[in-house]
């Protein structure tokens, strides 16, 4: 913090404290070489099913659990529990995949 | 953490507690004060948030006695049947009177505690407690003679009064129905489950470049299972293959 204050004395918001940190230019940008080898897991979440404990205890092999998503609905891609994109289920060779339809701006 | 029996403090102040206390104090006063009967005309509830005023000492286990100068003088006056204020005592006499007061007060706490059926930890006597009523509150009992002249005050912590109080309330009524199965009671509790198809590892640099149309390949094979888990919790409760149920996505459990 201190070093940056000294480097940019003319910035009007330089004294505004930590809440303005996101507005200031980051020290380490997301596309930095630093992150070249850092991987994150993006989770493909199909949907929710709300069952009572009674129903839950009655589940057996072969039981069908209906989810709250329609067949043609987009599914959610979550990064650390946060929704970051939506897409449709696709098959890629012998694996499932998700084709991104909706994604937030990088910010 | 120790669990202690508890009742609202105003429930402790009842005739079933006062009467035996009064009788015990009268026995005590008969032993020490010839011809002057001292009793407990009333009890006053003291909530846990209040500390009763007094120069408190615990002589035995739990009952605290207000040993203010005034109270001690009154004890000595009654016991020795004289007015100490008007006498000039020498060092030796003073010590004798102190020992007398102490013995009278020790006997008072023993009499009172025996009458209340108190079981407690012994304390080195007399001890000056920071909280004469402990942390749960209790009651104060003002001792007074039959003309209403006050003698001293007792502070009785909740634990001290509970045995007699409980006894007067009688045993708890047996429940009309036995407790039922916990699992059955839980039956209608809703549990949110989330279905996860799989995950893809993405380098941070690629994450920034992701755009509509891109395809992330998941780690789940087409014939492999999706996981069902309690929403927000980590461990999967079941796994199943994707299927449909009335145009909705569904999992057929394995």
Nearest to B244 among A40, A49, A71 (CB): A71
Give domain B187-253's CATH superfamily: SpoA-like (2.30.330.10)
Q: Does B194 touch chain A (CB under 8 A)?
A: yes
Q: Are A39 and B222 in contact (CB < 8 Å)?
A: no
Task: State the burial class of residue A91 (Cβ atoms within 10 Å of its Cβ: 0-12, 13-18, 19+).
Answer: exposed
Strand ranges, E, within chain B = 38-46, 56-58, 64-66, 138-145, 150-157, 190-203, 215-221, 226-230, 236-245, 248-253
Nearest to B208 among A31, A49, A85 (CB): A31
Separation of alpha carbons A62 and A46, rounded Å: 19
- How confident is the model over B125-144, as pLDDT tens digits? 889 988 899 889 999 999 99
- A19-48 mean pLDDT: 79
Nearest to B253 among A38, A62, A96 (CB): A62
Q: Does B192 touch chain A (CB under 8 A)?
A: yes
Residue listed under structure tokens 């007074």: B144
Q: H-type helices in chain A, by residue range? A: 2-7, 53-58
Q: Which CATH architecture has domain A30-103?
A: Roll (2.30)
Residues of chain A in contact with residue B219, where contact means CB-CB under 8 angstroms, are 95
Domains of chain B, residue spans: 9-169, 187-253
ipTM metric? 0.72
B199, B203, B225: best to mutate for the A interface, most A CBs within 10 A: B199
Helix (H, G, I), strand (E, B) or coil at A22: coil
User: In this structure, what token pair is assigned to residue A61?
Assistant: 């092999």
Residues of chain B in contact with residue A102, where contact means CB-CB under 8 angstroms, are 212
Q: Does B233 touch chain A (CB under 8 A)?
A: no
**CATH number of the structural domain B9-169:** 3.40.1550.10
B185, B186, B193, B247: best to mutate for the A interface, most A CBs within 10 A: B193
- Least confident range from A12-21, B5-14, B154-163, B174-183: namely A12-21
- A43: nearest CA in chain B? B199
Cα end-to-end distance, chain A, whole Å = 21
For the cut 60, the answer to whether the pLDDT of residue A87 exceeds it is: yes
- A97: nearest CA in chain B? B217
For the cut 60, the answer to whether the pLDDT of residue B94 exceeds it is: yes
Q: Are B28 and B108 contacting, i.e. CB atoms less than 8 angstroms apart?
A: yes
Going by their DSSP bridges, the two strands B190-203 and B150-157 should be labelled as unpaired
Distance from CA of residue B55 to its chain's centroid?
A: 24
Q: Does B185 touch chain A (CB under 8 A)?
A: no
- How confident is the model over B204-230, as pLDDT tens digits? 878 888 999 999 999 999 998 999 999
Residue % of chain B over a pLDDT of 90: 61
Q: Are B207 and A40 in contact (CB < 8 Å)?
A: yes
């Amino acid at each position: 913090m201190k070093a940056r204050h000294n480097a940019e004395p003319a910035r009007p918001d330089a004294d505004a404290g930590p809440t303005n940190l996101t507005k200031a230019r980051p020290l380490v940008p997301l596309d930095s070489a630093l992150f070249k080898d850092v991987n994150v897991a993006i989770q493909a979440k199909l949907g929710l099913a709300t069952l009572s404990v009674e129903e839950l205890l009655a589940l057996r092999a072969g039981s069908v659990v209906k989810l709250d998503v329609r067949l043609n609905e987009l599914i959610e891609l979550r990064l650390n529990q946060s929704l970051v994109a939506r897409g449709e289920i696709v098959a890629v060779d012998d694996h499932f995949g998700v084709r991104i339809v909706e994604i937030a701006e990088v910010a | 953490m120790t669990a202690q029996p508890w009742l609202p403090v105003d429930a402790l102040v009842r005739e079933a507690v006062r009467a035996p206390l009064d009788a015990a104090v009268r026995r005590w006063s008969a032993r020490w004060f010839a011809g002057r009967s001292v009793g407990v005309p009333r009890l006053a509830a003291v909530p846990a948030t209040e500390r009763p005023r007094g120069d408190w000492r615990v002589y035995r286990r739990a009952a605290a006695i207000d040993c203010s100068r005034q109270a001690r003088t009154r004890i000595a006056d009654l016991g020795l049947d004289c007015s100490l204020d008007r006498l000039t005592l020498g060092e030796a006499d003073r010590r004798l009177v102190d020992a007398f007061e102490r013995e009278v007060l020790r006997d008072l706490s023993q009499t009172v505690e025996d009458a209340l059926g108190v079981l407690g930890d012994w304390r080195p006597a007399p001890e000056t407690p920071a909280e004469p009523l402990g942390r749960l509150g209790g009651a104060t009992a003002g001792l007074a003679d039959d003309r209403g002249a006050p003698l001293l005050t007792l502070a009785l912590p909740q634990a001290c009064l509970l045995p007699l109080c409980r006894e007067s309330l009688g045993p708890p009524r047996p429940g009309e129905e036995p407790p039922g199965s916990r699992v059955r009671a839980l039956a209608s509790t809703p549990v949110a489950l989330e279905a996860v198809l799989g995950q893809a590892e993405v380098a941070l640099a690629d994450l920034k470049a992701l755009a509509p149309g891109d395809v992330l390949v998941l780690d789940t094979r087409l014939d492999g299972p999706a996981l069902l888990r309690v929403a927000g919790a980590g461990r999967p409760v079941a796994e199943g293959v994707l299927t449909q149920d009335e145009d909705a996505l569904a999992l057929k459990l394995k």
